[in-house]
Structure 1
């Protein structure tokens, strides 16, 4: 067995900027060997790209920073496995700006739909591919013009300082619907796919990052569902206790909810300003949510059920009890299933993000529930919840299915049909999942 060197303090500070992007401190990793470092980096990376905050997990610039830092750090610590010191590397995936055979096969279904053959496409640069696209789709020029105009209009609305967030959302909503109609067209999809060729970037790597970001953004949007799932229960408990006990509970709820909202806003602002780390932010949010449930929501729900039950025993089935009872039980059921739905969304997005961004095919996740602990009780409810989760992710998952992850030929030489060498960027084993 070869000797495994450990990361030194000097090696940490030589790449301190990259470690900072992944929010890693010296005391966490200095002195660890290659295996321990690899495991820690992967854990930290997966946590950062899936964190539930739009400024961190859903922002493309932040996402690219995290992805690039992780790739460079993996290359940086690789020599430790052989007993050598760390070596700085760059993983910027530059190509010669021409479509490779691998990049063609990765989106072969899309090329075939536009009747573009491998022989005429491979080896062409961005302008050459646009010329083929215009020839095969006579409406592409007009579609592209309208697509760019819609993007510019939406950007102007979003950057207009005279509009508040609500006005921006309303004015951009109709334009977004029109934009999505153009995005759905195969010619515009292919245009977006080959656009990185202009900057000589790897199409497969850029496409995988973009698709992974779509899963994260969809997950972040769905995570709002569990956060508002308590509303039916909060409203019904307030009404029940108000009817059978006292309406002072409304004032108490308003005060506590406003206090929680102010506290959440305070920590979100600190996190956005990088005053606290991702771990601290997640921890604070969890504590606030748990405290609210344990101190307010659950005790009030139990008390409401108690009041309805006592009223039923004393007065029999009344109109109020007949209405409030079933609604209250339904609200309790929703609140119980909401955390399972939340976890289902997390592991579904986690699975596909891993499959897209992990380089080693052996790390591919075969089943979503494999990401749960072996004895996690939520495994029992996942078969019920997961079909709903899949339906919520159906649009993004369909894009995932259009890629030929398993069909790209790994023995394909890096030479295009015009005899030009292809990029010496990332090995294909790092691009397939």
Structure 2
């Protein structure tokens, strides 16, 4: 949450926030989420507070911290994560993204340093399972009390007990909650951002004489995912599904679904896979995607064993090398006027260097997505890395970046803790 605020992100989505633990009036066991919400001006979208916590005291504590709490939906019932109602009501209620965006804007306009918490009830189709899970939670809470389990041991005990009692249903409901929160949060974020643009003609995001433009440069893949037994040397029963991927395509797809529709620059073959890709990506701006004769659209096949672990991955991605500096240079006008350029690590080093030079010249933000540990080093082989504004490496990729720059690199596991 702190990192999101410092990065200029105004809407943050999570599963559920922490709270005041049961018997918290004696133990003073209060999640850091609550105090952080009281001093960070950001909107948090969650499914409320888990019923293993003291929801009443949690709402009181949030009020003390100056946090605006609103239920998102038709009722003011404050949700208890797996249940649409907790027996408590929120001080405020919003029914749609527009009302939520107005609440965020009005709160921020006051110059307060506290945040806004939107509590989103569990989707109706999951409510029945949610009720069963709530019953399991109450059983687990009672058992924890009988066994004298206290302090930090309570939460892991209850979560494990609930998972056992529901035979894994709690995990499926949890995933559904995350999906729903992400959907609601993205709608609120887009509405808030568009409202911010229209209310400020001098905003960095838009002007009367310019059109907001982002550019994404990277790969397109047709992915095949095979799941089943993996005894090599014979035909195994299993299931195979097809999807569309490529890091650059995924980024452009996500931005398009959020209403941004960036220009996507990439390359495919002139084959049936390419036809399928373009049909799937009709909602995207694919004017920058070249269809090349005598080339094959990139494909990736992964074999996943019965435990869910990857057994083997094969990629035919040579066409990514056709996203050359020469090809990309024909879009120099769009690059020069962009507000953000996203690069994935699949494109050639020379293309990365070229785009970074344009970005440096015109003070354009560049986001680099490494894609894997080997490709993570590409911008750091020259001074191109100095033009990067953002990057999203995993720990292995970050180590590669450090090593390429000759910086000290810890080899052990790193642990970090963040609020929410």
Which band: TM-score by shorter chain?
Answer: under 0.3
More strand per residue: 1 or 2?
2
TM-score by length of 2: 0.27
More helix per residue: 1 or 2?
1
Larger Rg: 1
Higher relative contact order (CA 8 A, sep 6+): 1
TM-score by length of 1: 0.26
